[in-house]
Amino acid sequence: MKLKNLMLMTTATALAAPAAMAQDMADSMTLVSWGGAYQTSQVRAYSDPYTAMNPDVEIVWDESSPEAVARLRAMEEAGNITWDLVDVVGADAIRLCDEGLAMEVDHDEILAPAPDGTSASDDFGDLIVSDCFIPQIVYSTTAAYRTGVEAWEGRTPESICAIFDTENFPGTRTLERRPINNMEWALLCDGVAMEDLYDVLETEEGIDRAFAMLDTIKEDTIWWSAAAEPPQLLADGEAVIGTSYNGRWFSAIEEQDQPIAMLWDAQVFDLDGWIIPEGLPEERLNRVLDFVSFATDTQRLADQAAYISYGPARASSAPLVGNHADLGIPMGPHMPTDPANSERTILFNYEWWADYRDDLDARFQAWLAR
């Protein structure tokens, strides 16, 4: 590996190794994220303290994460990588790693251990879903509903299956316009056990079953493509129940005081984290490694939770999560990882979706269009 080589070379040639390392770092870097409240949380928790420590470093934020995969491929084809660190979801990290667009990293070597000495790879545990992926947060795609819907006559949704129960919970639903998560929920509510979901989904009959279940609400559903839509739809009364990211719901409920309530049941955990583009020049790579080691340490990940209700990816960060920086409310109960919220969760199967995504997506879109 190049990295190993580089390390060897540094130790072999330069006796004053730490000084040499510091000299070889670029003094600017471009970080790519999703914009909005999430990016703000990253700026406040990671890059502000980092620039305070390294005043010479200029950090440029780019909001291109939604099209990061395509952009990185285009950059690679053009032979000019302009990004230094990119925030992507787990599935995209796998894709980028498969395509050779993201750099494989040795987590224990480049990331800080936990304060108690636990190695980084143990601290992150299973969340390292790809060799290229440096996890940052756990978020979840989960349901929420509008409170005080008259037609429900006082009934309150208790489980995810309320989405499919148009009899007790009439009204418009809103679900994401893609198969991921929807297929799982459909099967779950059709009586498939949590642990069998992907086995069933792998069969023709399983897929048919899921679509049959979705068929029952197809006409009653607004299929969203941007996660900001569902909270707005519920707030406007356009829809009565729907799914989105837990952080979006949090901001609608706690920050904007909308008549919406969370339904944590069967939330699907998903990950977001950094990848380093493959093929960075040495100086820039050194800078990025320095930054990423700082930005993913236990304290920084816990700090981020003060600005947004996404759970830190390190096990060691969980006890350090405090209050919301502006609202002052404890953030623990709003974390998807909070025990009260995660009684029943679906573990998003990255490997499985990496294989089946294209196929099912085509089927899903065809089903939607009919």
Partner 1 sequence: MTDAATGNIGRAAADARRAEAEQTGPVMAADGRPLKQSLNRALRAQKLRALALIAPLLLFLLVTFVAPIFDMLFRSVENQITSETLPRTVVALEDWDAQDLPSQDTFAALAYDFMEAAERRIHTRLGSRLNYETTGISSTFRRSGRGIDDLGETQAEQFIDLNPQWEDPAAWVALMAAPDWIAAQADWAARADAADAADRPFDEAEPAFRLAGGIAATLPETADAYRSFATTIQQEDEDSPTAEEPWNTVYLALYRDLLRQPAATIAAYDGPQAALVQEAAGVAAGFEATDLPAFFIDMDDGWGDLKTWETIQTFSDPYTAGYFLAALDLQLTPQGIEMQPEEQQIYLMLFWRTIVLSLTIMGLCVLLGYPIAYLLSNLPMRTSNLLLILVLLPFWTSLLVRTSAWKVLLQQQGVINDTLVWLGLVADDARLALINNQVGTVIAMTHILLPFMILPLYSVMKTIPPSYVRAAKSLGATNSTAFWRVYFPQSVPGIGAGCILVFILSIGYYITPELVGGRTGIFISNRIAFHISDSLNWGLAAALGSILLILVLALYWLYDRLVGIDNVKLG
Residues engaged in binding partner 1 (CB under 8 A): 1-2, 5, 13, 66-67, 69-70, 73, 95, 97-100, 104, 172, 177, 211, 218, 221-223, 225-226, 236-238, 351-352, 354-359, 361-363, 365-370
Nearest to 88 by CA among 70, 105, 75, 113: 70
Query: CB of 139: closest distance to partner 1 in angstroms?
Result: 19
Closer Cβ to partner 1, 136 or 221, answer by number: 221
At residue 38's C-alpha, the angle toward residues 36 and 41, to 5°, is: 115
CB of 171: closest distance to partner 1 in angstroms?
Answer: 11
Q: CA 44 to CA 41: how far, in whole Å?
A: 5
Closest distance to partner 1 from the beta carbon of 56 (Å): 25
Residue 235 or 325 with smaller CB distance to partner 1: 235
Q: How far apart are CA 174 and CA 164, in angstroms?
A: 11
Q: To which residue do tokens 């993201």 refer?
A: 102
Q: Pick between residue 144 and residue 266 the one whose CB is nearest to partner 1.
A: 144
- Alpha carbon of 88 to those of 34, 50, 93, 271, 346: distances in Å? 8, 21, 6, 9, 20
Angle between helix 68-78 and 90-98 (nearest 10): 20
Q: Which is nearer to partner 1, 29 or 214 (CB)?
A: 214
The residue whose two tokens read 């620039």 is: 51
Burial of 150 (C-beta count, 10 Å sphere; 0-12/13-18/19+):
exposed
Taking the least distance from each CB to partner 1, the nearer of 30 and 64 is: 64
For the chain, give the longest Cα–Cα distance. Answer: 76
Rounded distance between C-alpha atoms, residue 312 and residue 123, angstroms: 11
Considering beta carbons, is residue 77 or 195 the nearer one to partner 1?
77
Question: How many CA atoms lie less than 13 Å away from 166 in the CB half-sphere?
Answer: 14
Q: How far is the CB of 191 from partner 1 (least distance, A)?
A: 22
Look at strands 85-89 and 173-176 and give their pairing: unpaired
CB of 91 to partner 1, least distance (A): 10
Instruction: Give phi and psi for 313, each to the nearest 5.
Output: -80, -20
Which is closer to partner 1, CB of 113 or CB of 259? 259
Q: CB of 214: closest distance to partner 1 in angstroms? A: 11
Q: How far is the CB of 277 from partner 1 (least distance, A)?
A: 14
